Amino acid sequence: MKNLMGILALSILFLIFSCGGSENGGEASSSSSSGSIDESSSAEAATSSKGVGEIKNLNLDDSLNVSMVFKGKQIVDMKCASCHKLTDKRVVGPGFEGVTNRRQPEWIMNMITNTDVMLAEDPTAQKLLEECLTRMPNQGLSVGDARDVLEFLRQNDEAKLGKRDEAYQEG
Amino acid sequence: MRHIKKAKTKLSYKTNKMKNYLFISLIAFAASIIAGCGQRDSQNVIQGDAAEQVYVAPGEYDEFYCFMSGGYSGQITAYGLPSGRLLKEVPVFSKYPENGYGYSEETKAMFQTSYGEVPWDDSHHIELSQTDGNFDGRWLFVNGNNTPRIARVDLSTFETVEILEIPDVAGLHCAPFITENSEYLVSGTRFSIPIPQKDVSIDSYKENFKGLINYVSLDQEHGHMSLAFQIEMPGFNYDLARNGKGKSHGWSFLTTYNSEQAHTLLEVNASQMDKDLMAVVNWKKAEEYMEEGRFTERETNYRHNVMDEETGIAESRKMTKTKILKPEDCPGMVYFVPVPKSPHGCDVDPTGEYIVGNGKLSADMSVYSFDKIQEAIANEDFDGDFEGIPIINYESALDGIVKKPGLGPLHTEFDGKGNAYTTFFISSEVVKWDVETKEVLDRQSTFYSPGHLVIPGGETKNPDGKYLVAMNKITKDRYLPTGPELAHSAQLFDISGEKMKLLLDFPTKGEPHYAQAIKADKVQPNAKKFFRIEDNKHPYRAQGESKTKVERDGKNVHVYMTAIRSHLAPDNIEGIKMGDTVYFHLTNLEQDWDVPHGFAIQGANNAELLVMPGQTRTLKYVPNRVGVLAMYCTDFCSALHQEMSGYLRVSPENSNVKLKWGLSDEFGTKEDWRKLQEEAAG
């Protein structure tokens, strides 16, 4: 019985490490907007890459709104940072670094505000769940909150990578 | 006393000896029913479609919440009707290790009384808040019988948020009866005692013992209770009460027993007289006297425990004064009306006109008319007085008598269609009768010996006369046996037709006395799903993992910890020493419904914590050995729940191990953490 538990624990550890590895590896080897995670889902229709939810089309200003960035950072600190680091390091969920280059802004906001439906219906979200094993919780953010978070994530990408919004498609 | 005796000679129809004989034969008759018909088959009273009527399909909701008191469990339970499914047990007067209520630092103060910490009580009567004589679904009140207290449960969170001790009373059975706009909770002492307490001989009862009727006012915004005034009454046993409604709004009616003023072997000595007295209180008049300042203020000692809405921390305040109204100083405030033989139940019909007084030892039930009581008062139609309190003439106040409906009438509720339903403890039945004509319409057996009964909204102006639940005191053969102690049994009847129809038996927790049931749609929409983390004002909150830390303050160590699926932060702590007291302040960062996190650490001498989303709760921990102790989340929260754990390293008292904490590869001392933060900011 003990041995069985040991094997089980080891295999879970393996799963976790291999999951982390693939994400990190994928990002490191990819300079385009799609990492290895996105490779399969990027074949999906454009609508699916905006995710499922009330955010259909978002127009982003080229410049960043400083007060939104500030509010977004506060929300991330309180409600998101337990699982998402600002670097590319995956802990419970993927690191935030580069997320605006991998995912459309609508997808990001839908994932935040419509989490359970996204996990049930969106192929990219489902693929992430398979790899991370912990369901992303619904943290009760309003659409306005999610927009602030997006602004902070754009700023984070610019600071960390010098580029942002590469997945953004205008209109 | 003199007048009671007078009333007795005038109104009695048997001698005392005869009365005792009658009582004994009632008991013998009841015993023969129970013994002889132990296996009485209820199948013959079950109709074919009963199952369909109580079936609530998977995923569907019950139509009513039914809140039952827990009796000696000290708690309350919420059941769904008609299914009889247990939805929740809400801890009120008893500590509850299941979620840490009474053990967490935030909730300990709820158990403070003038006697120190009292971790248990005996809860009897549920009262839901009312607006214009109808249940409004805001709050629930329940009494603690043993160490007199009244608790308030918030029906948006189903949490006990306030407990008020009632001073200078004993056995607060007669509580906490609410007025039609939730102005007051009315209560009376079950046992009279010396006031203020003093060292006197028990047989000086008549000289030294008094009873108090208490009026607790409610703040309409927050529901906060405060002791408004107490009325000093003769030393009887105040048993149950109801407040008037509609035309009788502004009046309270309280049954009493032991007008003999016996202090030993009450079962005989308090059952001597043909009639005891029902107190009739004009509380609007009492309010006027309060405004005029016709009260005496007295030193006393009681506790008021309130949960702060923003921090979630209960505080116990010591209270030292009470305002007493004495009937002799306040004419027109209190009257008595005679009620046959040791009355128990006291119930007011939906119109507010009829008041039912049930003598436990009487074969008949007396129904009084509010209009007639008013007329008798106006005409001073009195039959003497007791200690200066006028006794209204029995016949003048009486509307009519329900003749021999059964044995041992206890409690009555109404269906809003002109019918009343009364439980009969001795003859084990519920009897339906017409309030106007006093005619018995139907009777159904219960299994066995019902105490209270409940009809949704049955004490309000607008009852929902669809179901009736009888709460039985004796279970015997109704369920598979579980040793000497059996769950008390509740029985659901359909009362929508002419005849009552038994639908369902279901076991209950503790010993439910009274219950109240309310349409689900008055409670369900207000249900809180989580506490907004932004609004958390707990002084030891951690609003985000970046706010977690460990702080030493002498021998006390405060751990600001967070929980989210599926890790605790910090989950490794070192530098704790023997002799330290560790406070784990756990904030649940989740913001979704039904995601509590638990916290337990090996060897904790108190309990676990169950922390709701957005809430902070604190567990005090005093290590008793050197080593590395495991801690973990107790509520299965996700696929990786088993991984939600951590370690606390405990070193000897004189060791030099530095205080360090963290998660994953971020593990360090206070200085390390400061540097990390500076780097991040810089």
* pLDDT tens readout for residues B173-220: 999 999 999 999 999 999 999 999 999 999 999 999 999 999 999 999
In the prediction, which pLDDT does B105 show?
98
Q: By the 8 A CB rule, do A63 and A54 touch?
A: no
Could you tell me the pLDDT band of residue A171, with boundaries at 50, 70 and 90?
low
- DSSP class per residue in B600-650: EETT-SS--EEE-TT-EEEEEE---SSEEEEEE--S--STTGGG-EEEEEE
Tell me the angle at which helices A143-161 and A105-113 cross, rounded to the nearest 10 degrees: 130
Q: What is the mean pLDDT of chain B?
A: 92
Phi-psi region of A20 (alpha: psi -120 to 50; beta: other; left: phi over 0): alpha
From the list B252, B253, B255, the residue with the least C-alpha distance to B236 is B255
Give the Cα separation of B122 and B67 in Å (integer). Answer: 16
Q: Tell which residue, B134, B138, B130, has the closest CA to residue B221.
A: B138
The pTM of this model reads: 0.89
Residue B465 DSSP SS3: coil
DSSP-assigned letter for residue B397 = H
Give pLDDT, residue B44.
53
Gap between the Cα atoms of B402 and B405, Å rounded = 6
Q: How far is B398 from B338, CA to CA, in rounded Å?
A: 10
pLDDT at B422 over 60: yes
Give the confidence band of A32 by pLDDT, cuts at 50, 70, 90.
very low
Q: What ranges do the domains of chain A cover? A: 2-170
Q: Check residue B132 and give its pLDDT.
A: 98
pLDDT for the residue B202: 97
Chain centroid, CA B151 distance in Å: 7
Residues with Cβ within 8 Å of B130's Cβ and at least 6 positions away in sequence, in order, are B136, B178, B179, B180, B181, B182, B460
Asked whether A46 and A103 are in contact (CB, 8 A), the reply is no
* Mutation site for B-interface testing, chosen from A134, A142, A145, A149 by largest number of B Cβ within 10 Å: A134
pLDDT at A44: 31
Comparing A32 with B564, the larger pLDDT belongs to B564
Please determine, for residue B15, whether its predicted confidence score (pLDDT) is greater than 70. no
Q: Which residues of chain A are within 8 Å of residue B548 when distances are taken between CB atoms?
A: none
Which chain A residues touch B534 with a CB distance below 8 Å? 78
Q: Looking at this predicted complex, what is its ipTM?
A: 0.78
Asked if pLDDT for residue B36 goes beyond 90, the answer is no
Buried/exposed B415-424: b ≥16 CB within 10 Å, e otherwise: bbeebbbbbb
Categorize the per-residue pLDDT at B32 as very low, low, confident or very high, splitting at 50, 70 and 90: very low
Residue A152 burial class via C-beta count within 10 angstroms: exposed 0-12, middle 13-18, buried 19 and up: buried
Q: Is the pLDDT assigned to residue B582 strictly greater than 70?
A: yes
Count Cα neighbours of A27 within 13 Å in the Cβ-side half-sphere: 20
CA dihedral A153, A157, A163, A166 (to 10 degrees): -50
> What is the mean pLDDT of the segment spanning B476-493?
96
- What average pLDDT score do residues A60-88 get? 95
Over residues A17-36, the mean pLDDT reads 37
Alpha helices in chain A (DSSP H): 2-29, 36-41, 46-49, 66-75, 99-102, 105-113, 115-121, 123-132, 143-161
**In the predicted model, what is the mean pLDDT of residues B99-126?**
98
Which of A82, A107, A102, A100 minimizes the C-alpha distance to A92? A82
What band does B290 get if pLDDT is binned at 50, 70 and 90? Answer: very high
Partners of residue B589 in chain A, C-beta under 8 Å: 78-79, 82
Candidates B350, B292, B301, B348; CA nearest to B322 is B301
Tell me the average pLDDT across A155-162.
Answer: 96
What tens digit of pLDDT does each residue of A101-153 get?
999 999 999 999 999 999 999 999 999 999 888 889 999 999 999 999 999 99
Residues A72, A142 contacting (CB under 8 angstroms)? no
Question: Please, which contacts does A78-81 make with residues 24 or more away whose CB atoms are closer than 8 Å?
Answer: A78/B533, A78/B534, A78/B543, A78/B544, A78/B589, A79/A139, A79/A140, A79/A141, A79/B533, A79/B544, A79/B589, A79/B591, A80/A139, A80/A149, A81/B544, A81/B545, A81/B546
A85 interfaces chain B, CB cutoff of 8 Å: no
List of chain A residues whose C-beta atoms are within 8 Å of the C-beta of residue B590: 137, 139
Mean pLDDT calculated for residue range B361-386:
95
Give the pLDDT band (50/70/90) at residue A24: very low
Cβ atoms of B455 and B430 within 8 Å: the answer is no
Neighbour-count burial of B373, counting CB atoms closer than 10 A to its CB (0-12 exposed, 13-18 middle, 19+ buried): buried
What pLDDT score was predicted for residue B11? 36
Residue B584 has a pLDDT of 98
User: Per-residue confidence at B41, pLDDT binned at 50, 70, 90?
Assistant: low
Res B43: pLDDT? 53
For residue B58, give Cα distances in angstroms to B52, B61, B62, B506, B582: 13, 8, 11, 18, 45
pLDDT score for A16: 42
Average pLDDT over residues B238-254: 97
The SS3 of residue B15 is coil
Is residue B313 scored above 50 in pLDDT? yes
Q: What percent of chain B has pLDDT over 70?
A: 93
Distance (Å, whole) CA B126 – CA A12: 50
Phi-psi map region of B594: left, alpha, beta (phi>0 left; psi -120 to 50 alpha)? left
Higher-pLDDT residue of B666 and B86 is B86
A80: distance to nearest CA of chain B, Å? Answer: 8
C-alpha gyration radius of chain B: 28
**Total residues belonging to chain B:** 682
Contact check, Cβ <8 Å, B564/A137? yes
Mean pLDDT of B270-294: 94
> Burial letters for B293-312: b for 16+ Cβ neighbours within 10 Å, e otherwise?
eebeebebbbbbbbbeeebb
The predicted pLDDT at position A137 comes to 92
Is it true that the peptide bond before B176 is cis, omega within 30 degrees of 0?
A: yes
Cis geometry, peptide bond prior to residue B368 (ω within 30 degrees of 0): no
pLDDT of residue B49: 87
Q: CA of A87: which chain B residue's CA is closest?
A: B680
* Phi, psi angle pair for A85, to nearest 5°: -85, 165
Residues of A in contact with B545 (CB under 8 A): 81-82
CATH code for the part of the protein at A2-170? 1.10.760.10
More confident residue, B336 or B639: B336
* pLDDT of the residue at B247: 97
For strands B174-178 and B296-307, give the pairing: unpaired
Could you tell me which residues are beta bridge partners of residue B112?
B117
Q: Does A91 touch chain B (CB under 8 A)?
A: yes
Task: Say how many C-beta atoms besides its own lie within 10 A of residue B480's C-beta.
Answer: 6
Going by the DSSP 8-state scheme, the letter that residue A76 receives in this structure is: I
- Please check the confidence at residue B10 and state whether its pLDDT lies above 60: no
Residue B529 has pLDDT above 70, yes or no: yes
Say yes or no to pLDDT of A45 above 50: no
Q: For residue B367, which of B354, B381, B351, B350 has the smallest C-alpha distance?
A: B354
Identity of the residue numbered A20: G
**Distance, in angstroms, between B545 CA and closest chain A CA?**
5
Tokens of residue B284, six digits? 């609007």
- pLDDT score of B2: 40
CB contact under 8 A, A77 and B544: yes
State whether residue A162 sits within 8 Å of chain B by CB.
no
Phi, psi of B105, rounded to the nearest 5 degrees: -60, -30
Who contacts B577 (Cβ-Cβ below 8 Å, separation ≥6)?
B650, B651, B652, B653, B654, B655, B657
For position A75, what pLDDT does the model report? 97
Q: How sure is the predictor about B47, in pLDDT bands with cuts at 50, 70 and 90? A: low
pLDDT classification of A97: cutoffs 50, 70, 90: very high
Q: Any residues with CB less than 8 A from the CB of B567 and at least 6 apart, and which?
A: A82, A92, B643, B644, B663
Q: Where are the alpha helices (DSSP H) in B249-337?
A: 266-269, 283-292
Shortest Cα distance, chain A CAs vs residue B614, angstroms: 10
Two structure tokens written together for B435: 């309030």
Kindly indicate the confidence band of residue A29, based on its pLDDT and cuts at 50, 70 and 90. very low
* Tokens linked to B390: 């006028």
Report yes or no: A92 at the B interface, CB cutoff 8 Å.
yes
- Indicate yes or no: CB of A78 within 8 angstroms of CB of B592: no
Query: Who among A77, A81, A133 is closest to B639 (CB)?
Result: A133
Number of other CB atoms surrounding residue B483 within 10 Å: 5
Could you tell me how many CB contacts below 8 A there are between chain A and chain B?
A: 55
